[in-house]
A and B are shown apart, each in its own frame.
Chain A
Amino acid sequence: MNPSPLSFEVESRDQGLQALGRVAETCPARVQSHPERRSAYLDTFDWRIYRNGGSLLSSREGRATVLRWKSLDGTPHHRLRVTEPPAFVWDLPASPLKTALEPLVEMRRLMTRLVLVFPSDTLEVLDVNQKIVARIRLEAATAIAPGSSTPEATLPILLTADPVRGYDKQFRSLLSLLKRLPGLRPTASSQFDSALRLLGIEPSSSDHKLRIRLTPDIPSEAAARRIHARLLETIRLNEGGVREDLDTEFLHDFRVAVRRTRSALTQIKGVYPQDVTERFKPEFAWLGQVTGPKRDLDVYLLKMPEYRASLPEHIQEHLEPLQEYLSRHQGLEHRRLVQALDSERYVRLLQEWQEFLTDSNGRGSPDDAVAPQAEVPIGRTASTRIWKAYRKVLKRGRSIGEDSPAEPLHRLRIDCKKLRYLLEFFRSLYDEQEIGSLVKALKRLQDNLGDFNDLEIQQASLRRFADDMFQEGLATGDTLMAMGRLVDRLEAKQTEERQKFEREFAKFASKKNRARFRALFADQSTAAS
């Protein structure tokens, strides 16, 4: 085994420099000093790399940029020298680093989440041939988080001894010397962790999970407000990235939060005053609509590599006009979307919605009637709503036979989505494991229904694009033929998904799952009615 690096904390940079000086008295050595080095931690908006136990450090070295992927414990995994820091994984050249990052990061932008600025002094310990046999780095870093509320933090000053392979003896004597020096305290915490802690950044809470903590006894209206407030937070959090079109997932998450908001408004019935529900429902429907076209184009652009790969190699280039068409329209739709976000209607919607949610009184004016279900404990409301939504899914699913047309499947897909949202809103009210496994079972069915629907929409869209492109004079016969082949493939795939449905539904509607749903939701819901 090769020895691993060892870090010490020192009181001040001077104390660290003194330590370097003491080492240099005992052996040949030279110092490399840089007044200001900069390293940036790259990660996605939702910290995908960190949440997978890693960190991606980018530092300028000469004219190049060097990327280093390490585990959070500091074990290095991959290094890659590039000319520019990548904005997306697909900007990287083929390399082990790219292969490792691809499945984690997917289509998300690699953003600078944290910058460390530090003067660095490295003592290189040498042998008689002026060969480096060990290094000691002294780093007094300031951490900067772009866009954070605590913009800067001074990190503990670290002195780190790095071994060189094959020179263990020299490293061991260096360590024993360092351990004898006054004021050096061995430490295991990394600069990255210290920086996150001091800046108050919590990457682990930035995934898609709603994480709404409810207890069964709070009134339904208060619970609904809490759910809606969390969703509004998500909408606001993603708005910046939507406007700047940083990557496709900002808009995706924005739209999911809008859909969930709307679903909660209609599904958690009778908890808000009727005029409130009636006012906001169409507004969020509008927000869903105006954000739709851009999302569609995002989706098709993301699918392009897959589309290309599904065709024989010699006709793949014929899809180039489609790529151009999609990019151009995506730009156009993005501008339209930004206009919508700039509109009076949008600004007012968010503002008034926020006001309603935070209004401590709960109602706009004292003479508003209390909604019929407002005071009912949320535990009962949740079970009632989930049980109803579940029954609806079962009923519709059972009515679908092998020869049924696509229409009832689409309706079932929507029913399932409603049920899914309810399960997620109210997750914290139930046994985590039980509800988790029901969500999983439902998700499988949803994947099948989702793919089936998706494949149908893709065919229709491709036909529409082909029409448009033909009108605009963008498509040659070759391109139209290639797109035709694509549609054929999608149709075949859709048939496959359709054939899987019966089995998937039977699994979801199994006796075991029915018993679980009943145990979790039915009893409490009958108690309510």
Chain B
Amino acid sequence: MRVFATYNIKGGVGKTATAVNLAYLAARDGARTLIWDLDPQAAATFYFRIRAKVKGGAKKLLKGKRPLDATIRGTDFEGLDLLPADFTYRNMDLDLVRSKRPTQQLASLLLPLSLQYDYLFLDCAPSISLVSESVFVATDFLLVPTIPTTLSLRTLDQLDQYLQERGATRPRILPFLCMVDRRKSLHKRICAGGIEHHPDMLETIIPYSSLVEQMGLHRAPLAEFAPTAEPARAYEDLWAEIVNRISL
């Protein structure tokens, strides 16, 4: 099982949109795919029309008292399952601190899933806390949606540096530019600079599009309601590029 996490310290940058659309595409290709909505705001859970409720809450789940297995729900799409969010996830860092091996706990919870799924997508809440460190330990690839502003690129630099100082070979970082408005010359310039500056930066760019916002109306991935539109195509390209990149 390969574990992806959509990650960014900032909210509202397209993490959930990315996790939902890429997980959908992975499953459509034929991979057994699970998405875990770690954000108490439960956006990913909402997109799949699933109730954001975990029996016993984060506490029981993290202690291993309630196996993840029993919480998983099938989405409407073949091969794609979801572990729902729960309101109690907002205290997840506290629950983790109390556990025996705070940073390893999440990774060891995932172990039993590794035979059932080819891909796991963790959709993270925006924060820098113990949850992030647990996510890093459990993750193979960090998908980092990056909006084209100088500030976001600096944040990306910091993340890069942090991961380097951490010293581990995992997770590998896979940043990409999103919410890009090609008509804005500033966006164009920043994109060009971003790609140049970050050798890991994926080439595919996710454009700014109101269709992405409409996922909330349709409560479905882009490919289900606007399969031929530009953003749906862009996510297809992004997934193809990622598959290619990680198989090297």
Contacts and interface: CB of A to CB of B under 8 A. Distances in A.
Interface residues on B, range: 10 to 19
A131 B72 CA distance: 15
A79 B79 contact: yes
Interface string A89-130: 000001111000000000000000000000000000001011
Interface string B34-55: 0000000000000011110000
B76 A131 contact: yes
Contacts of B51: 129
Given A97-B30, A129-B51, A165 B78 contact: no
Nearest to B82: A166
A94 B247 contact: yes
A78 B30 CA distance: 7
B74 A66 contact: no
A81 B79 CA distance: 12
Given A78-B30, A81-B30, A96-B118, A166 B247 contact: no
Interface in B1-53: 28-30, 48-51
Query: At the interface, is chain B mostly helix, strand, loop or mixed?
Result: loop
Contact of A165 (B48, B81, B219, B247): B81
Contacts of A165: 72-74, 81
B247 A66 contact: no
Contacts of A97: 30
Contact of B49 (A79, A129, A167): A129
A132 B76 CA distance: 6
A305 to B, nearest CB: 19
Interface in B77-126: 78-79, 81, 118
A120 B51 CA distance: 30
A165 B116 CA distance: 13
A80 B31 CA distance: 7
Nearest to B223: A62
B74 A167 contact: yes
Contacts of A79: 30, 78-79
Contact of A166 (B28, B72, B78): B72
A80 B28 CA distance: 8
Contacts of B30: 66-67, 78-81, 95, 97
A167 B72 CA distance: 10
A67 B29 CA distance: 10
A131 B50 CA distance: 7
A130 B49 contact: yes
B73 A167 contact: yes
Contact of B74 (A94, A130, A166): A166
Interface in B43-73: 48-51, 71-73
A164 interface: yes
A66 B79 CA distance: 12
Contacts of A94: 247
Interface string B212-248: 0000000100000000000000000000000000010
Nearest to B48: A131
A80 B78 CA distance: 11
A167 B84 CA distance: 13
Contacts of A164: 73-74
B29 A81 contact: yes
A66 B71 CA distance: 29
Interface string A67-81: 100000000001111
A359 B30 CA distance: 56
Contacts of A95: 30
A67 B49 CA distance: 28
Contacts of A127: 49
A80 B118 CA distance: 13
A60 to B, nearest CB: 14
Contacts of A131: 48-50, 76
Interface in A384-418: none
Interface string A130-143: 11100000000000
Contact of B28 (A81, A96, A130, A132): A81
Contacts of B72: 165-166
Nearest to A131: B49
Contacts of B73: 164-167
A467 B219 CA distance: 67
Nearest to A124: B76
A97 B32 CA distance: 12
B132 to A, nearest CB: 28
A94 B73 CA distance: 28
B23 to A, nearest CB: 15
A78 B74 CA distance: 17
Residue of B28, B30, B72, B219 with most chain A CB atoms under a 10 A cut-off = B30
Contacts of A129: 49-51, 219
Residue of A67, A80, A95, A166 with most chain B CB atoms under a 10 A cut-off = A166
B37 to A, nearest CB: 14
Nearest to A61: B28
Given A79-B78, A166-B73, A167-B74, 19 more contacts: A66-B30, A79-B79, A80-B29, A80-B30, A81-B28, A81-B30, A96-B118, A129-B49, A129-B50, A129-B219, A130-B49, A131-B48, A131-B49, A132-B76, A164-B74, A165-B81, A166-B71, A166-B74, A167-B73
Interface of B: 28-30, 48-51, 71-74, 76, 78-79, 81, 118, 219, 247
Lowest 10 A-B CB distances belong to which pairs?
A166-B73, A165-B74, A131-B49, A80-B30, A164-B74, A79-B30, A129-B49, A132-B76, A81-B29, A81-B30
26 contacts: A79-B30, A79-B79, A80-B29, A81-B29, A81-B30, A94-B247, A95-B30, A97-B30, A129-B49, A129-B50, A129-B51, A129-B219, A130-B49, A130-B219, A131-B48, A131-B49, A131-B50, A132-B76, A164-B73, A164-B74, A165-B81, A166-B71, A166-B73, A166-B74, A166-B81, A167-B73
